DNA sequence: ACCATATTAATGAACGTTCATTCATTTAGC
DNA sequence: GCTAAATGAATGAACGTTCATTAATATGGT
């Protein structure tokens, strides 16, 4: 069988496939996967509904494309993030996480909210990627605890607590609001640092307070 | 206009309206409002779709009912929560929040995820209720900071950070998992206490670390 | 440089299905 | 027999997807 030359994409302006991704991203983030129709997406792209199927075989494939590329981007961005020498690992992680999640708010929102709209195979894959990301922080915490710089009762739980705290920021942050991104980073970094601090005058040794609710 | 006697509901077993609420709650939490059909709800209730309209005028009204009663329940539960004398306010809030959110995971999940599925009026109402709830914690933090027991840079941001941290628990907690609810409460209470502690040996005075990302 | 051809993408109409909702009628308790 | 609730069938609209056709582009031969 002879090899046939691959024809180039037409590439006038933004490719339609990319427009579809952008439109779907915005619409899914605003209204949710199930509430967005292929007609809605087509309208945003400026094309008839049938044309979408030249680029994605189903609506589900659009969602899968957005979520898988988001997870890959997140992990790649961490691997290639550049910080000044001497920046400690916690600061790196906190600043990176906040910046990435504020810059890619729609992607992050969809990756969290639409997990249940993914079919089983892709769901499992995205969850595994998320665990890889969480493990980055867990290892930072574990190493800091082993060296005595931090006091951490449970590195996995602390990981989830910190990530949940940071991931909540895009839900209320608005550009032009009271706080700049830099101020937010500083506030959260301080809270995170304190929450894992080796010792606290108010809380020497983290006494187990037990369960005293009536 | 004469007052007519209110006929009693038939009350054989669970009322249908209550069954509808329970079924919708479970289905909305599992699949999302937009992905659940009135037929799905009717099937769960064990009734024909048309029968639902004897109890709720539209699908949107079912969601509104669930969300408004959840917010009312949350605030009432806080007002009537009973703790031993001497339990400090932070401990009260952290334990209350965790317990309520683990016991009513579906309601909490829907109240967060389906805000965007509410029409404008009900959206505004739920948001206002949410702010009322957040204010409870903000005032605890502000008073503690004013008295010197806590060091807090920004009470509103700290409120959101703590609530996001705690609200993340139901996303991973599973009964019978590694940690009991009591252990989880203790872990999170310790982290919260440290994060608002007046002083930390590692972090004297919360130095502003500035912005040093490349 | 040019035409013929192969290839890609868009159209516009249609497919069958499912949606929320309505309603005349039947059923069952007071 | 009155009243509230359930049925079962129907409504029109919207859904994801398909497809024959048309338009537009790049490639290969000359």
Cβ atoms of residues A63 and A126 within 8 Å: no
DSSP-derived letter for residue A150 is B
Q: Count CB neighbours of A61 within 10 A.
A: 13
Mean pLDDT of chain A: 90
Instruction: Give CA–CA dist B204/B201, Å, rounded.
Output: 6
Instruction: Give CA–CA dist B45/B18, Å, rounded.
Output: 10
Identify the band that residue B13 occupies on the pLDDT scale cut at 50, 70 and 90: low
Q: Which nucleotide is nearest to B8 (CA to C1')?
A: C30
**Cβ within 8 Å of residue A119, ≥6 positions away:** A60, A64
Q: Count CB neighbours of A15 within 10 A.
A: 13
Identify the band that residue B199 occupies on the pLDDT scale cut at 50, 70 and 90: confident
Q: What is the dihedral of CA B95, B96, B100, B101, to 10 degrees?
A: -50
Instruction: Give CA–CA dist B65/B195, Å, rounded.
Output: 37
Identify the band that residue A155 occupies on the pLDDT scale cut at 50, 70 and 90: very high
Strand partners, B150: B197
Q: What is the dihedral of CA A132, A138, A139, A143, to 10 degrees?
A: 180
Cβ atoms of residues A63 and A25 within 8 Å: no
Is the CB of B186 less than 8 angstroms away from the CB of A209?
yes
B43 CB closer than 7 A to any strand C atom:
no
Length of chain B: 214
A10 CB closer than 7 A to any strand C atom:
yes
- What pLDDT sits at residue B207? 44
| pLDDT exceeds 70 at position A3 | no
List of chain B residues whose C-beta atoms are within 8 Å of the C-beta of residue A149: 202
Sign of CA dihedral B185, B191, B194, B195: negative
Mean pLDDT calculated for residue range A25-49: 98
List of chain B residues whose C-beta atoms are within 8 Å of the C-beta of residue A106: none
Q: Count CB neighbours of B198 within 10 A.
A: 16
Residue B28's alpha-carbon distances to A96, A124, A142, B23, B154, in angstroms, are: 34, 22, 38, 8, 35
Say which residue, A14 or B40, is predicted with more confidence: B40
Mean pLDDT calculated for residue range B53-78: 98
- What pLDDT sits at residue A199? 73
Domains plus CATH for chain A? Answer: 14-56 (1.10.10.60), 57-195 (1.10.357.10)
Instruction: Give CA–CA dist B141/B36, Å, rounded.
Output: 40
| pLDDT exceeds 90 at position A21 | yes
Instruction: Give CA–CA dist A115/A132, Å, rounded.
Output: 16
**Cβ within 8 Å of residue B101, ≥6 positions away:** B108, B166, B167, B169, B170
Residue nearest to nucleotide D19 (CA to C1'): A50
Is the CB of A202 less than 8 angstroms away from the CB of B168?
no
In 3-state terms, what secondary structure has residue A89?
helix
Instruction: Give CA–CA dist A94/A88, Å, rounded.
Output: 10
**Cβ within 8 Å of residue B15, ≥6 positions away:** B9
| pLDDT exceeds 60 at position A211 | no
Place of tokens 């990302």: B213
Q: What is the dihedral of CA B42, B47, B52, B54, to 10 degrees?
A: 180
Is the CB of B214 less than 8 angstroms away from the CB of A82?
yes
Instruction: Give CA–CA dist A210/A140, Å, rounded.
Output: 28
| pLDDT exceeds 70 at position A184 | yes
Mean pLDDT calculated for residue range B153-166: 98
| pLDDT exceeds 90 at position A214 | no
Is the CB of A199 less than 8 angstroms away from the CB of B201?
yes
**Tokens (6 digits) for B88:** 């400090």
Identify the band that residue B113 occupies on the pLDDT scale cut at 50, 70 and 90: very high
Query: How far is C-alpha A4 from the chain's CA centre?
Result: 40
Say which residue, B105 or B206, is predicted with more confidence: B105
- What pLDDT sits at residue A206? 44
**Tokens (6 digits) for A78:** 């961490």
Q: Which of residues 90-149 of B touch strand C (CB under 7 A)?
A: none
Rounded to the nearest 5 percent, the helix, strand and coil shares of chain A are: 65, 0, 35
**Tokens (6 digits) for A103:** 């810059």
Mean pLDDT calculated for residue range B128-149: 98
- ipTM beyond 0.85? yes
Strand partners, A134: none
Is the CB of A91 less than 8 angstroms away from the CB of B209?
yes
Instruction: Give CA–CA dist B161/A89, Å, rounded.
Output: 21
| pLDDT exceeds 70 at position B212 | no
| Cβ pairs A/B, distance under 8 A | 179
| pLDDT exceeds 50 at position A9 | no
Comparing A115-124, A147-156, B201-210, which segment has the lowest mean pLDDT? B201-210
A9 CB closer than 7 A to any strand C atom:
yes
Q: Which helix (H) or strand (E) holds B24?
A: helix B16-31
Which residues sit close to strand D, CB under 7 Å?
A 5, 7-8, 10-12, 36-40, 49-50, 52-53, 57-60; B 7, 9-10, 16, 46-51, 54-55
| Candidates B191, B199, B204, B206, partner chain A, best to mutate (most A CBs within 10 A) | B191
Q: Which of residues 67-86 of A touch strand C (CB under 7 A)?
A: none
Is the CB of B96 less than 8 angstroms away from the CB of A213?
yes
């Amino acid at each position: 069988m002879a090899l046939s030359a691959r024809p180039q994409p037409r590439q006038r302006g933004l490719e339609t496939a990319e427009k579809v991704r952008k439109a779907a991203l915005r619409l899914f983030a605003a209204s949710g996967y199930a509430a967005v129709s292929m007609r809605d997406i087509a309208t945003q792209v400026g094309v008839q509904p049938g044309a979408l199927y030249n680029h994605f075989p189903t609506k589900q494939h659009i969602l899968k494309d957005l979520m898988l590329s988001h997870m890959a981007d997140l992990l790649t961005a961490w691997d290639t993030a550049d910080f000044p020498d001497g920046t400690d690992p916690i600061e790196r992680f906190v600043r990176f996480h906040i910046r990435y999640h504020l810059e890619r708010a729609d992607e992050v929102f969809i990756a969290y909210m639409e997990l249940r709209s993914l079919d089983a195979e892709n769901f499992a894959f995205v969850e595994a990627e998320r665990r890889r990301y969480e493990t980055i922080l867990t290892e930072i915490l574990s190493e800091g605890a082993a060296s005595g710089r931090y006091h951490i009762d449970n590195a996995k739980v602390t990981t989830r607590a910190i990530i949940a705290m940071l991931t909540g920021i895009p839900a209320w942050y608005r550009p032009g609001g009271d706080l700049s991104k830099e101020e937010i980073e500083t506030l959260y970094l301080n809270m995170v640092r304190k929450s894992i601090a080796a010792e606290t005058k108010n809380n020497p040794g983290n006494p187990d307070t037990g369960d005293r609710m009536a």
